[in-house]
Structures are given as structure tokens and as C-alpha cells.
Amino acid sequence: MIDRDALLRRPVMAVLGRPAVYTPPDGGTPVPCTVRLRSGDRDVRFREVGLGVTAAACVATVRAAEVPLMEEEGMLAIGEKTYRIIHAVQPPEDRSLWRLDLE
């Protein structure tokens, strides 16, 4: 089996990533990591009435090998800016990355 993290993810993050620090929502021990940050659109749904809107969002990608557990409401400091994690998922097709929606 191919180790996609060692072959692809780690080298890409080394080139395109930025240093960051993740802090769990309970204020636990900060974890240094490398993040790839991009802006995009976030689809916000109002389930009760079936409406949806699209809003600008900041999306980060972090290797799960660096931070095994990312929790919503945790904080991600990138450079001098600190973001709150509003949504954290590991896509089922590749559990080696976290996809984080930030605000």
C-alpha cells in the first residue's frame, strides 16, 4: 500500500504550507503544525426553512499526522492572525488531512 502522506502530503505542505499553532477549545496544549490556507465560498444552510446562502470563507488544510484530533471551536494561529475553527472534517476518501472552515 502506498503511504500517500509520506509521498504527497508532507512534501506539498513543506513547499506550500505555512507554520501554524492549533489550540484545542478547552485551552489544552498548543500543537505546532503546517497549514495550507485558501479562501473560498461556504454554503450556509438554514435547514428549518430550506434556504441556503453562500458566504466568503477561509479554508485550511492540515495533515492529520501533525494534529490527530481537530475540534470545532478550537483556535488556529497563522502568523499574526488567529482563527476560530467552525467546522472540522476528514473527507472519507482520504483521512490523512483535516479540512477546516475558519472565521
pLDDT tens-digit series, residues 14-36: 667 899 999 999 999 999 999 98
Decide: helix, strand or coil at residue 93. coil
**Could you state, in order of their start, the residue ranges of all structural domains in the chain?**
4-102
Checking 79-86 for CB contacts under 8 A at 24+ apart, the result is 79/18, 83/58
Strand spans (E) along 1-103: 18-23, 31-46, 51-63, 75-78, 81-89, 97-102
pLDDT tens-digit series, residues 33-59: 999 888 765 555 444 555 555 555 689
Place 7 in a pLDDT band, splitting at 50, 70 and 90: low
pTM for this prediction: 0.74
For domain 4-102, say whether CATH 2.40.10 is its number. Answer: yes
